[in-house]
Amino acid sequence: MSNKYKKSLTIIGILIVLSSMVGISYLNYEKEPEIETLVEANGELSVNYINGKLINKNGTYEFSVTNNSGKDFYYEIVMKELKNFDENLRYNIVSPEASINIQNASLEKDDSLLVDNVLIKSKATENFKLKIENNKNTSFILAIRKMNENEEYFFATILKNNEVKKETITKPGVEVAIKNEGLIEDVDDYGLTYYFRGNVTNNYVEFANNLWRIIRINGDGTVRLILDDALSELSSYNSKIEEVEKYESTDVINKINSFYESSLKNNESYIANTKFCKEIEGTSAGNNKTYNAYTRLVTNNIPSFNCLGETYRSRIGLITADEVAFAGGNFKDNNKDYYLYNKDIEDIWWLSNLARTKDGAFYPFSITKEGKISDTTSGSAYKNVRPVINIIKKTTVKGSGTIEDPYTINTQL
């Protein structure tokens, strides 16, 4: 047998052995099981979990919700069977059809809600993308629940008592609103928000022995209120310019926290521990800084209900300059004819946003005694404070919202 022939047989033998090894390896290889699409239906509501219901790693999970019934209703997106809670986990959840755009949100161990108060029209389908980031070992089951229709919650009462409008008569941020423009629909971080604008007379709420005004229905169904009057004691925004961006420890936040402890703590079960916006980003030039809120509101006249900075959770906060612009104020004109103006408040009162720092001084946004948004008040000056709270969604009320018959919260949870 020639050496050439022997060499060929050797090569063929090696190839046969290698082929056998590959075949055996393939047979012994356990493929990662594919996640099958899961469809659940209960007659009125169908949910298509495209990537399954188990959320246990980083990535994008898609699902859709369909209303099979002949009427509109609300539903909520919740977590079940939460394990290995990690406060560092972040999620985004987006749905163009439902007007939901929640970005960089964190899980709350004691709150199973991811999204609340989602309206779905009859026969409609709403598609969602849930993106999980920074997840180390947390897992939960995704669930969609139709909301209880047995009680009319506060937000639903407001909607029933007002004609919701898609457009304003005057342009927010550019023109003041001196007439009653009613309840207007817009979008915030959670979805649809409904805000009062102009000389509104049916947004009064009596709560915890104080009179409040409704700013808006938040996208999660909570109702945002501002104290109708100012606190009895004045406060600087902060006494130290170098610590003005440490928002949660500023003088003005300490002042409203003290008010909460003395006047609202006993009613805590009705006040939502919700997100407020802390906007400290901006453009610096030497020791001077122009904050993004100034550029957005003063330069561009584009107010927004979306938080364009960091968020923090609290049961009490302040109104933003954006919310004042939507309510009917602006930077050019006095306005004594919108609901945020109170003739009994005889001096300036603070808003939450910072406007700018200049030459060793800092200037938060504020409201003048004539009802105009201002960026010229030194943050070290002692001025008035009007706290803001959010009433939980699952609350019912009595009354019609007028000064003679304000909404009052039923205190039987």
Least confident of 111-120, 139-148, 398-407: 111-120
| Cα–Cα dist 329/344, whole Å | 18
Residue 152, in any domain of the structure? no
Residues linked to residue 211 through DSSP beta bridges, in sequence order = 206
**What is the tens place of the pLDDT at every residue in 88-141?**
898 999 999 988 888 878 887 777 888 877 889 999 999 999 999 999 999 999
- Going by C-beta distance under 8 Å and a sequence separation of 6 or more, which residues neighbour residue 33? none
98 compared with 14, residue with greater pLDDT: 98
Of 234, 201, 236, 233, nearest in space to 341 by CA: 201
Of 88, 120, 146, which closes a domain?
146
Per-residue pLDDT at 30 exceeds 50: no
Per-residue pLDDT at 258 exceeds 50: yes
Rank 135-139, 202-206, 390-394 by mean pLDDT and report only the highest. Answer: 202-206
Per-residue pLDDT at 269 exceeds 70: yes
Supply the pLDDT for residue 412.
63
- CATH code of the domain covering residue 129: 2.60.40
Of 381, 382, 384, nearest in space to 351 by CA: 384
**266 with 391: CB under 8 angstroms?**
no
241 and 269 part of one domain: yes
228 and 295 part of one domain: yes
Supply the pLDDT for residue 22.
45
**319 with 352: CB under 8 angstroms?**
yes
| Cα–Cα dist 356/25, whole Å | 67
Confidence of residue 33 (pLDDT cuts 50, 70, 90): very low
Question: What SS3 class is residue 105?
Answer: strand
316 compared with 112, residue with greater pLDDT: 316
175 and 138 part of one domain: no
Q: What is the mean pLDDT of residues 248-276?
A: 95
Supply the pLDDT for residue 283.
95
Residue 246, in any domain of the structure? yes
Domain total in the chain: 2
116 and 224 part of one domain: no
Torsion sign, CA atoms 248, 253, 258, 263: negative
Q: What percent of the chain has pLDDT over 70?
A: 89
| Cα–Cα dist 81/27, whole Å | 36
Q: What is the mean pLDDT of residues 27-38?
A: 52
Residue 178 token pair: 């001196």
Least confident of 110-114, 328-332, 342-346: 110-114
Per-residue pLDDT at 172 exceeds 50: yes
CA 274-323-390 angle, to 5 degrees, is: 25
Residue 177, in any domain of the structure? yes
105 and 167 part of one domain: no
138 and 228 part of one domain: no
Which letter does DSSP use for residue 32 in this model?
P
96 and 139 part of one domain: yes
Q: What is the chain's mean pLDDT, rounded?
A: 89
367 compared with 116, residue with greater pLDDT: 367
Residue 385 token pair: 């404070």
311 and 372 part of one domain: yes
Between strands 73-83 and 139-146, the pairing is antiparallel
For residue 30, report the phi and psi dihedrals to the nearest 5 degrees.
-95, 110
Supply the pLDDT for residue 36.
58
Residue 4, in any domain of the structure? no
**82 with 167: CB under 8 angstroms?**
no
Of 146, 173, 202, which closes a domain?
146
162 and 255 part of one domain: yes
Residue 82, in any domain of the structure? yes
* Amino acid of residue 314: S
314 and 248 part of one domain: yes
| Cα–Cα dist 109/87, whole Å | 8
Residue 241, in any domain of the structure? yes
Q: What is the mean pLDDT of residues 260-277?
A: 94
Per-residue pLDDT at 31 exceeds 60: no
Of 56, 47, 53, nearest in space to 141 by CA: 53
12 compared with 227, residue with greater pLDDT: 227
Per-residue pLDDT at 295 exceeds 90: yes
Per-residue pLDDT at 150 exceeds 80: no
Q: Where are the alpha helices (DSSP H) in 296-353?
A: 321-327
Residue 139, in any domain of the structure? yes
210 and 305 part of one domain: yes
260 and 385 part of one domain: yes
Residues linked to residue 207 through DSSP beta bridges, in sequence order = 210
Residue 25, in any domain of the structure? no
| Range(s) of the domain holding residue 137 | 38-146
| Cα–Cα dist 323/373, whole Å | 11
Confidence of residue 298 (pLDDT cuts 50, 70, 90): very high
**393 with 155: CB under 8 angstroms?**
yes
Least confident of 31-35, 128-132, 253-257, 368-372: 31-35
257 compared with 88, residue with greater pLDDT: 257
Of 86, 112, 146, which closes a domain?
146
* Amino acid of residue 187: V
pTM of the entire predicted model: 0.76
Per-residue pLDDT at 32 exceeds 50: no
